[in-house]
Structure 1
Amino acid sequence: MNQTVKPDTQAIMIDEVFPHAVDVIWKALTSGDLISRWLMAPKGFEAVVGSRFTFQTNPAGAWDGTIHCEVLEVVANERLSYAWRGGHEGNEGYGSKLETVVTFVLSKAETGTRLRLTHSGFVLPRNDTAYRNMSEGWKKVVQRLDTVVTEEASSQTLH
């Protein structure tokens, strides 16, 4: 049996139930304007497989702060997945080379919609800093997503 040794990888997982319909959360995950309110402003985002887009964050060392993404999977109202690549090979700590995948899975829950966010592929120890920072960061992002979805849901009921 041929076994290749894979580096140790970690994933960030967040499981949250929102008191909103699936389509309201899906809209927040797939609308560039809404994404910019809970995550970062995407440049060129389309919820279409193969679509490439970027986010801009703080530069570090040889890295310009650009996160390069590519939509990998879209199943309307169920699943959105995209590659999340950034950093630079020459950086250690913040800004180290990162080749990960972010996946959002939506499913009906008794009180609304369950969102499972998985950010996978952090290579340890190289991506320790990113893993720690983003573990905390995604929790805050999901809280902001809840705020945006609540605002959107209430504005829809007003119209």
Structure 2
Amino acid sequence: MSFTLNLDYQYTAPIEKVWSALTDPTKLAKWVMENDFKPVVGHRFQFRQKPTEYWDGIVEGEVLIVDEPSKLSYTWGTGQEKHTVTWTVQDLGDGKVNLHLEQTGISNEQALNGAKYGWGAMLGQLVKLFE
């Protein structure tokens, strides 16, 4: 059995700014982790942070879909966990954007809760890029 995480966040920002926050490695480093991301299908990349006693600090990924400015998908792998992360960006009008995250392939409830907590914290940081 695998779990899927779905989160929606609304931001007051132009859709291009939200897209840039998802695809620009300098901006990603401010709200996710240091990285060598490129929005190019097939590009392999890493998100990196300081290792802990429980984790080496590396998330391996490969870009699967780039449909600017509305959809971005990549693999997200750490340890035995291999997931797919898909971002869908929707312009709601009046300068508002809905950012939908779907993370599939989560192996257990503990990993699901960890992903929900982690993305919640990171998406809270994302808003600072739009102020």
Partner residue, 1:116:
100
Q: What amino acid is aligned across from residue 106 of structure 1 in structure 2?
A: V
Aligned mates of 1:123, 1:130 — CA distance in 2: 7
- Normalising by structure 1, we get a TM-score of 0.75
Partner residue, 2:14:
21
Structure number, greater radius of gyration: 1
Structural mapping, 1:28-43, within 5 Å:
28-42=21-35
Q: Is the counterpart of residue 136 in structure 1 residue 117 in structure 2?
A: yes
- Normalising by structure 2, we get a TM-score of 0.90
Q: Is the counterpart of residue 11 in structure 1 residue 24 in structure 2?
A: no
Partner residue, 2:63:
71
Unpaired runs of 5+ residues, structure 2, are none
**Deviation string, structure 1 residues 71-128 (Cα, Å, up to 9, x no partner):** 00000110011000111xxxxxxxxx1010111100111441110011111012xxx3
The equivalent position to 1:100 in structure 2, one of 83, 86, 89, is 83
Cα RMSD after superposing both structures: 1.5
Q: In 2, are the aligned partners of 1:59 and 1:66 still within 8 Å (CA)?
A: no
How far the C-alpha of 1:66 sits from its partner, in A, is 1.8
Tell me which protein shows more strand as a share of its residues.
2
Structural mapping, 1:49-68, within 5 Å:
49-57=41-49, 58-60=51-53, 64-68=56-60
Q: In 1, are the aligned partners of 2:10 and 2:98 still within 8 Å (CA)?
A: yes
Aligned mates of 1:14, 1:78 — CA distance in 2: 16
Q: What amino acid is aligned across from residue 13 of structure 2 in structure 1?
A: H
The structure whose RCO (Cα within 8 Å, separation 6+) is larger is 2
Aligned pair count? 129
Partner residue, 1:156:
none
